[in-house]
Amino acid sequence: MNHSVWEYAPEGADDETEVRPVESVPVNDLSNRIVGTEVSLANGSRVWATVGNVDSEDARATQQFLTLAVVRDGAWFLLARYHDFYFDIDKNGPAALAKFLNLSIAEVFPISYDIRRYVKGESASFVGHVTAEPRERLSEAEVIKLALR
């Protein structure tokens, strides 16, 4: 990847998912940004992915809302989390990601990421693991409350 950090285009862009590269890295914060980096699968292999929704102030929020999209042979797979009410978890969940990668769930999860080199400061949110099953499962009301804090 030529650029490691991308930010969502400002209001007025043609598409709310439009991103543009951030030229100066490391950045001060990751709000409204995604990081392109290699992540490690449970079997030790490394794949390119984007990591988003990283909250440097709140590791719990990052654990709940972190987004992960993995690329394989030019195709992208956006992993749905247990609370992604608008996604079909069967088509976008952990088992589907394993199938996309032609691996078993045990070979894929946990997925480890380390994005410390792309952002200034210290935070528990910059290094972590994405598990097939959440460490903490919140109710819908709790998810909404955490998102709106």
Share of residues in the chain with pLDDT > 90 (%)? 62
How many domains would you assign to the chain?
1
Domain housing 56 = 5-148
Q: Please tell me the total number of residues recorded for the chain in this structure.
A: 149
Q: What is the pLDDT of residues 42-62, one digit of tens each?
A: 999 999 999 999 999 989 889
- Pick from 40, 44, 67, 78: nearest CA to 125: 67
The pLDDT value given to residue 147? 82
Q: Tell whether the model's pLDDT for residue 14 goes beyond 70.
A: no
**Alpha carbon 141 to its chain's center:** 22
Please provide the distance, in angstroms rounded to a whole number, between the alpha carbons at the two ends of the chain: 34
Q: Name the pTM for this structure.
A: 0.87
- pLDDT tens by residue, 82-133: 877 667 778 999 999 999 999 999 999 999 999 999 999 999 999 999 999 8
* Apex 75 CA angle, 73 and 80, nearest 5: 130
